[in-house]
Structure 1
Amino acid sequence: MPRPGGGGPVRRESLLTRAVGAVFAFVRLAEFEILFFLFFFIAFLIFKDLTSRPEYNEILVKKPGSNDYWPY
């Protein structure tokens, strides 16, 4: 069907093409928020990995200047 005012037929893109375009538009719009979330998520994973090591956990629980541990 021709467009009003002349020109060629109206070409409607496929559903997949429109969905991919919408995802890219969202990423362009929310780029800062996505990067902000990723920064904290990656920092959390690194901190979680560091604090899960037994030698780090020992530093948090051991009494300073003693071989004894905190009673809990």
Structure 2
Amino acid sequence: MARRVETRNESLLTRAVGAVFAFLRHAEFEIIFFLFFFIAYLLFKDVTSRPEYNQIFVKKPGGPEFWPF
């Protein structure tokens, strides 16, 4: 049985939106992977920029100590 091929007269905007959604379906894992690391970076940057959390990196007078307390 032969398939009928229809010519669709879709607008450029409709085809562009369809292409974007096709790309998002194809690259879903990579997008989620990137967003995970980006959000983790923002959270880590926020936590380490606070002075009370940054005290473990400050050297105490009296020699080197390996424990932060």
TM over 0.5: yes
Give the ranges of 4+ consecutive aligned residues of structure 1 lying more than 3 Å apart after TM superposition: none
Partner of 1:33: 30
Identity across the alignment (%)? 73
Q: Aligned partners of 2:10 and 2:57: how far apart in 1? A: 59
What is the CA RMSD across the aligned residues, in angstroms? 2.5
Local SS of the residue matching 1:55: coil
Local SS of the residue matching 2:52: helix
Q: Aligned partners of 1:36 and 1:46: how far apart in 2? A: 16
Query: How high is the TM-score relative to the length of structure 1?
Result: 0.71
Q: 5+ unaligned residues in a row in structure 2: which ranges?
A: 64-69
Deviation per residue, 1:28-56 (Å, 9 max, x gap): 00000000000000000000000000111
Compare relative contact order (CA 8 Å, sep 6+) and give the higher one, 1 or 2.
Answer: 2
Q: 5+ unaligned residues in a row in structure 1: which ranges?
A: 1-5
Alignment length (residue pairs): 60
Tell me which of 19, 22, 27 is aligned to 1:22.
19
Amino acid in the other structure paired with 1:48: K
